Amino acid sequence: MAPTQKHAQRVYLRDYAAPDYRIPGIELQVDLDREQTRVRSCLKVERSGDHHRPLVLHGEKLDLISVKINGETLDPASYHRDDTTLTLNLREPATTLQIETEINPAANSELNGLYASADTLCTQCEPEGFRRITYFLDRPDVLSVYRVTLRALKDQYPVLLANGNQVNSGEDGQHHYVIWEDPHPKPCYLFALVAGPLQFIEDRFTTCSGREVLLRIYARSRDIPQCDFALSALRDAMIWDEKVYGCEYDLGQYNIVAVEDFNMGAMENKGLNIFNTRYVLAQPATATDHDYRSVRDVIGHEYLHNWSGNRVTLRDWFQLSLKEGFTVFREQQFSADHDSAGVKRIEDANLVRTQQFREDMGPMAHPVRPESFVEINNFYTLTVYIKGAEVVRMLSLLVGAQGFLRGCSHYFEYYDGEAVTTDHLVGAMEAACDVDLSQFRRWYEQAGTPRIEVAGDFYPDKSRYCLCISQNNPDSSGGRQPPLQLPIVVAFFDAEGNALNAQSENDGRKQHEHTLVLTDPVQEFAFTGLKSQPIPSLLRGFSAPVMLQVDLSDQDLAVLAGHDDDPFCRWDAGQTLARKEILRWLNDPSICALDEHFAESFGKTLRAELPDRAFQALALRLPEENYLGDFVEVIDPEGIHRSRWSVMQTLARRYTDELLERYHALDAKLPYQRDAASAAARALRNTCLDYLMTLEEGSVTALALKQLKAADNMTDALAALALLANQALPARDEALAFFEDRWREYPLVMDKWLRVQAVSRCEDTVARVRDLIRHRCYQHDNPNKIHALIGALAHTNPLRFHERDGSGYQLVAEQLLATDAKNPQVAARLASAFNLWRHYEPGRRERMHKVLQNISGAEHLSRDVGEIIERALVKP
Q: Which does 535 bind (CB under 5 to 8 A by kind): ligand BES, Zn ion, none?
A: none
| Region binding Zn ion by CB under 5 A among candidate stretches 322-330, 401-409, 458-466, 543-551 | 322-330
CB of 109 to Zn ion, least distance (A): 24
CA distance 761 to 642: 11
Q: Which does 864 bind (CB under 5 to 8 A by kind): Zn ion, ligand BES, none?
A: none
Dump strand ranges (E) for 241-332.
Answer: 253-259, 266-267, 272-276, 313-314
Give whichever of 302 and 667 is closer to ligand BES, judged by the CB atom.
302
Q: Are 317 and 422 in contact (CB under 8 A)?
A: no
- Residue 103 sits at φ, ψ, to 5 deg, of -135, 165
CB of 441 to ligand BES, least distance (A): 23
Q: Which does 403 bind (CB under 5 to 8 A by kind): ligand BES, Zn ion, none?
A: none
Q: Which does 265 bind (CB under 5 to 8 A by kind): Zn ion, ligand BES, none?
A: ligand BES
Subset of residues 242 to 301 that bind ligand BES, contact rule: CB under 6 A: 264-268, 297-298, 301
Residue 241 within binding range of ligand BES, rule CB under 6 A: no
β 272-276/266-267 pair status: antiparallel
Catalytic residue among 302, 359, 375, 867: 302
CB of 421 to Zn ion, least distance (A): 17
For the sheet containing 80-81, what is the strand order?
Answer: 55-58, 85-88, 80-81
In the shown chain, the binding pattern of residues 654 to 693 toward ligand BES, with x for contact by CB under 6 A and - for none, equals: ----------------------------------------
CA distance 574 to 545: 19
CB of 31 to ligand BES, least distance (A): 26
HEC assignment per residue over 51-92: CCCCEEEECCCCEEEEEEECCEECCHHHCEECCCEEEECCCC
Is 496 among the catalytic positions? no
In the shown chain, the binding pattern of residues 333 to 372 toward ligand BES, with x for contact by CB under 6 A and - for none, equals: ----------------------------------------
Give whichever of 324 and 864 is closer to ligand BES, judged by the CB atom.
324
Residue 305 within binding range of ligand BES, rule CB under 6 A: yes
Give whichever of 253 and 321 is closer to ligand BES, judged by the CB atom.
321
Closest of 518, 450, 513 to residue 486, by C-alpha: 518
The DSSP element (H or E) to which 157 belongs, if any, is none
CA distance 812 to 787: 11
Give whichever of 384 and 538 is closer to ligand BES, judged by the CB atom.
384
Give whichever of 264 and 361 is closer to ligand BES, judged by the CB atom.
264
User: What one-character-per-residue DSSP string does 605-669 give?
Assistant: HHH---S-HHHHHHHHSPPPHHHHGGGSSSB-HHHHHHHHHHHHHHHHHHTHHHHHHHHHHH---
The amino acid present at 522, given as its one-letter code, is V
Partners of residue 25 on adjacent β-strands: 44, 145
Give whichever of 298 and 652 is closer to ligand BES, judged by the CB atom.
298
Q: 378-381 contacts: CB < 8 A, separation 24 or more?
A: 378/828, 378/864, 378/867, 378/868, 379/317, 379/320, 380/264, 380/320, 380/324
Q: Which does 866 bind (CB under 5 to 8 A by kind): Zn ion, ligand BES, none?
A: none
CB of 276 to ligand BES, least distance (A): 7
Q: Which does 298 bind (CB under 5 to 8 A by kind): ligand BES, Zn ion, none?
A: ligand BES
* Residue, CB closest to ligand BES: 265
Residue 126 within binding range of ligand BES, rule CB under 6 A: yes
The amino acid present at 505, given as its one-letter code, is E
Dump strand ranges (E) for 250-304.
Answer: 253-259, 266-267, 272-276
Give whichever of 162 and 264 is closer to ligand BES, judged by the CB atom.
264
Q: Which does 147 bind (CB under 5 to 8 A by kind): Zn ion, ligand BES, none?
A: none
Q: Which does 343 bind (CB under 5 to 8 A by kind): Zn ion, ligand BES, none?
A: none
| Region binding Zn ion by CB under 5 A among candidate stretches 73-81, 325-333, 429-437, 783-791 | 325-333
Largest CA distance in the chain: 94
Q: Which does 491 bind (CB under 5 to 8 A by kind): ligand BES, Zn ion, none?
A: none
Give whichever of 324 and 820 is closer to Zn ion, judged by the CB atom.
324
Give whichever of 147 and 752 is closer to ligand BES, judged by the CB atom.
752
CA distance 111 to 134: 16
425 to 411, 563, 581: CA distances (angstroms): 6, 38, 44
Peptide bond into 567 cis (omega under 30): no
- Environment class of 550 (CB within 10 Å of its CB; exposed 0-12, middle 13-18, buried 19+): middle
Binding-site residue total for Zn ion (CB under 5 A)?
2
DSSP reduced 3-state for 754 = helix
Interaction site with ligand BES (CB under 6 A): 126-127, 264-268, 297-298, 301-302, 305, 324, 328, 380
Interaction site with Zn ion (CB under 5 A): 324, 327
Catalytic residues: 302
